[in-house]
Amino acid sequence: MRIRIGSRGSALARWQAEHVQARLTELGHDVSITIITTTGDRVLDRRLDNVGGKGAFLKEIEEAMLAHEVDLAVHSLKDVPTALPVGLHLCAFLERADPRDAFISRDGRRLAEMPAGARLGTTSLRRQAQLQAARPDLVIADLRGNVDTRLQRLQGGAFDAILLAMAGLTRLGRAAEATEVLPPEVMLPAPGQGAIALECREADTALQRAAAVLNHAITERCVIAERSFLAGLGGGCNVPLGAYAQEDAGALHLRGLVAREDGSLVLTGERRGTDADALGRDLAGDLLEKGAGELLTR
């Protein structure tokens, strides 16, 4: 089967696309990659929520799929909105890598050791809120760009420390650069963080069958719960929001978080259950009862 993958041009996006290409090629398919520049790649001088949110990294690739110019998209799942364009859907989830966040400092200090007034770079409101809650004495500054760009700006002295997804560092062979890997109790990950998702046309059943071979069932259950929580709150990158599910003895343990950007209020909750979709929506309901609705409307 001939499969055309649409991918962004960053090193991480290329790694992910090439990883999927290699796995599908091993299964006997003829797979090529087309590089597509997205709005999120082009516009780096504004906050992500001002250029279309996380969907800014998908828009042009999804348009190419709908136009039958490419057949398959390979995404970092944390960048994928819960609402997809009509005619497209997520057809597989690869086994999840480390979902945690990596703290990387210029001088090797851990988060708790950073001096007051230290400048930390992140573009994520989720990370910003949790950092401000834990260390309100730090200065948080916006940091856009791919992994290489962010690490270069750190080493160039623009920041004292930055936060990146551990999965991305690992996939690029740069895991050793992490000063500290933050546990979920300190920094709850984004929904879907560490997982790679495949997106295709709903009508392309042959491709769906091919992609299904790569699906990892436990990862699928966990990220469905996390994305159900996200959908239940109607949240996106405009709201500091985290969710992380783990499978334990056949059940799922889901933790969720909604916060103010400045970290002055952090609402958390957790639930266990076996129905991934219901679990996420129930936990979203719990946080709405605690007052999350006010934070979401702000």
> HSE on the CB side for 39, CA within 13 Å?
16
> pLDDT tens, 162-188?
999 999 999 999 999 999 999 999 999
> pLDDT tens, 57-110?
798 999 999 999 999 999 999 999 999 999 999 999 999 999 999 999 999 999
What confidence score (pLDDT) does residue 158 get? 95
**What is the band of 51 on the pLDDT scale with cuts at 50, 70, 90?**
very low
pTM of the model: 0.92
> pLDDT tens, 126-141?
999 999 999 999 999 9
Tell me, yes or no, if 79 is annotated catalytic. yes
What confidence score (pLDDT) does residue 4 get? 98
Domains of the chain: 2-94+195-215 (3.40.190.10), 101-182 (3.40.190.10), 226-297 (3.30.160.40)
Res. 45: pLDDT tops 80: no
- CA atoms of 241 and 188, how far apart (whole Å): 9
What confidence score (pLDDT) does residue 42 get? 62
Look at the alpha carbons of 260, 262, 264, 266 in this order and tell me if their dihedral is positive or negative.
positive
Q: Which of 65-69, 80-84, 143-147, 276-280 has the lowest mean pLDDT?
A: 143-147
Candidate list 30, 41, 45, 79, residue with the active-site label: 79
User: What percentage of the chain has pLDDT greater than the value 90?
Assistant: 87
82-110 b/e (C-beta count within 10 Å ≥ 16 → b): beeeeebebbbbbebbbbbbbbbbbeebe
Res. 50: pLDDT tops 50: no
